[in-house]
Amino acid sequence: MMHSYFRRLLAVAAVLLLSQFAPAQAASTLRYTLSMPAPQTHYFEVDMALGGFSKPYTDVKMPVWAPGSYLVREFAKNVEGFEAKAGSEALRTEKISKNTWRVYHPKAKDFTVHYRVYAFELSVRTSFIDAAHGYLNGTSVFMYPAEGQQLPSTLTVQPAQGWTQVTTSLKPAGGAFTFRSANYDELADSPIEIGTHKVLSFEANGTPHTIAMFGNPQYDEARLLSDMKRTCEEAHRVVGQNPLDRYVFIIHNIDRGTGGLEHLFSTTLSVSRNAYSSEAGWKGFLGLVAHEYFHLWNVKRIRPVALGPFNYDAENYTRMLWVSEGGTEYFSNLIVQRAGFVTPEGYLADLSNGIGRVENTPGNKQQAAAESSFDAWIKYYRPNENSQNTGISYYDKGEVIGAVLDLMIINETKGQKSLDDVMRYLYDQYYKKLGRGFTDDEYQDAVAKVAGRRFDDFFRKNVYGTETLPYNTALGYAGLTLTTTPVSADASLGANVSTAGGKFTVTSVVRNGSAWQGGLSVADEILAINGNRITDDPNKLLVGAPAGATITLLVNRDGQIKELSLPLVANATQRYRIEKLPSPSAAQQTVFNKWLRTK
């Protein structure tokens, strides 16, 4: 009898030998088909072909939000007609959470899923289709296997009848309008424009750039291509490294533009179609181009740790949106100025207005920039009548923090380094070397490394706290000063009033103003002031009224007449202006020149 040890040894050897010749288990595969047979009904139709899924059931998910837009939007609410089949056999399906469907396929490794998506919200963060064109963001249309987020896939787009163009940053995969994605993140991060739009192109930094122009605006095509190229090349100079092999602009020219949204190799811009007809509109358009394009570095590659890999099921919290969004706004305005579209004086005027937006918002003293970033999910995208009193925009606050921080770095290094160098360090250290995002502390460490000293007090007081930024100290480094003057010496009602329908209805109340102190509330209808029936906006009627006086208001509140006594408070709004000092020193001139690239 063979010894049991040798029997086991031979058995293991036989298994190993047979395994060399056994067919390998097929890897899972994923193929999408997007169709739109009746675009006028506002529906996309999606087919998912899943292969090699060996478990008895598979969960498929629809994201609840779109990266870059920090609000849970519940995209699953637009899904209809979910069904699954293995061949011709219908499979049992069950919805097990708000955005998860379970497909039971105990006898089949290969099956298909079909569903429809209602898409009728034309914004840069959602999806839309009508008789004129189709546009989609992946998170609001494409589901993914819960355990297959890293699975590569192909997508075949079947345009509606008569549509000839499909524009996306996804790479072609062979076949008509067929593309490939390395994983779901890439599919979700590559918006698609479908229709008969005009396609333009230019090259910047050795990379082909494509523009999908929807909406038939009136514009100078040669100027558009030249100025966009110039803007992109100036944006590239900040970090100085080009991670692109292609880039796509999808531009929706509509009645009222709504902004932009960044993606890894593309962006979508929503622009008012008459924006190109004035110099102010043109500069605004270039500023939007600069902002969204600079995001391909700041956010898509230089990013806080929370912003990738994404959890598509819930909020992804970070306290760094003041850097990701506000910092991008700061750089985009510099980029437009450095490219020569705005003079240094024009830039300083714009920055003065930015400071005014921050300092004239009462919520600036209630909410820190870091807190505003963290609470984006529940506050920034869900404003109400009290938002100005309780919060501050991380865009606006981040921009002015960026300016102050930049000036401090330039001064500390005697004009040798700037915030540009911080971005370069973050790109090299975290995106290229470590392949991850940075933490809050690591951002402060990066600033310290570039500047040669730490600014911990500044971050504690002005980023994580609500102390007023040291504007004059920072601007003084560049031979500049910030002056303030009251917008008006008169008293102010301290409330915004709608005159719609011939009624004078309060829409918001300013913290610590006259209305706030006297108990005037949102939705109150103002009927009379000091016994006199009003026939115009009460804000106009109070022009010239002295602070310290008291007025009596008669209001209709929920159908009941009430009399209120309001102590009039002076208008607290200030006008901010950055001015040059008469005789800047050589050191100040060095800082100024480095900051605005004037030499």
Looking at residue 24, its pLDDT comes to: 35
Residue 55's H or E segment, with its range, is none
CA distance 313 to 363: 30
- The percent of residues above 90 in pLDDT, for the chain, comes to 93
Residue 422 near residue 409, CB atoms below 8 Å: yes
* Alpha-carbon Rg for the chain in angstroms: 29
Give CA torsion, residues 248, 252, 258, 262, to 10 deg: -10
Helix (H) or strand (E) holding 392: none
Distance CA(267)–CA(262), nearest Å, equals 5
At 544, is the pLDDT very low, low, confident or very high (cuts 50, 70, 90)?
Answer: confident
DSSP states along 441-456: HHHHHHHHHHHSS--H
As a whole number of angstroms, the distance between CA 195 and CA 212 comes to 10
List phi, psi (to 5°) of 140: -95, 0
> CA-CA-CA-CA torsion for 292, 293, 295, 297, nearest 10 degrees?
180
Poorest-pLDDT segment among 18-22, 176-180, 525-529, 538-542: 18-22
Cβ partners under 8 Å of residue 499, min gap 6: 536, 537
Reported as a pLDDT band with limits 50, 70 and 90, residue 23 is very low
CA–CA separation, 465 vs 216, rounded Å?
Answer: 47
What is the structure's pLDDT at 26? 54
Distances (CA, A) of 220 to 227, 260, 275, 340, 342: 11, 21, 12, 19, 19
Which tens digits make up the pLDDT trace of 303-333?
Answer: 999 999 999 999 999 999 999 999 999 999 9
| pLDDT the model gives residue 133 | 98
Q: E strands, 493-590, where?
A: 495-498, 505-509, 525-529, 532-533, 550-557, 560-567, 569-570, 574-580
Residue 3 has pLDDT above 50, yes or no: no
- Answer yes or no: are the C-beta atoms of 490 and 518 closer than 8 Å: no
The answer for residues whose C-beta is within 8 angstroms of residue 10's C-beta and 6 or more apart is: none
Burial class of residue 268 in the structure, from the number of CB atoms within 10 Å of its CB (0-12 exposed, 13-18 middle, 19+ buried): buried
Residue 175 has pLDDT above 90, yes or no: no
C-alpha angle 122/395/417, rounded to 5°? Answer: 130
Question: Which amino acid is residue 343, in one-letter code?
Answer: T
* pLDDT surpasses 90 at 29: yes
- Half-sphere exposure in the Cβ direction for 198 (13 Å, CA): 13
**Interval 272-278 mean pLDDT:** 96
pLDDT of residue 2: 39
Nearest Cα to 47, choosing from 81, 74, 94, 15? 81
Q: How far apart are CA 513 and CA 96, in angstroms?
A: 50
At residue 250, what are phi and psi to the nearest 5 degrees?
-105, 120
Cα–Cα distances in Å, from 71 out to 67, 267, 312, 393?
A: 9, 19, 11, 15
Residue ranges of domains in the chain, CATH in brackets: 29-193 (2.60.40.3650), 197-282 (3.30.2010.30), 297-483+586-599 (1.10.390.10), 491-570 (2.30.42.10)
Residues 6+ apart with CB under 8 A from 532: none
Mean pLDDT (the chain, rounded): 94
Query: CB–CB of 365/466 below 8 Å?
Result: yes
Q: Is 520 left (phi over 0), alpha (psi -120 to 50) or beta?
A: beta
SS3 call for 102: strand
| Structure confidence by residue, pLDDT tens digits, 461-490 | 999 999 999 999 999 999 999 999 999 888
pTM over 0.85: yes
Distance between first and last Cα of the chain: 93
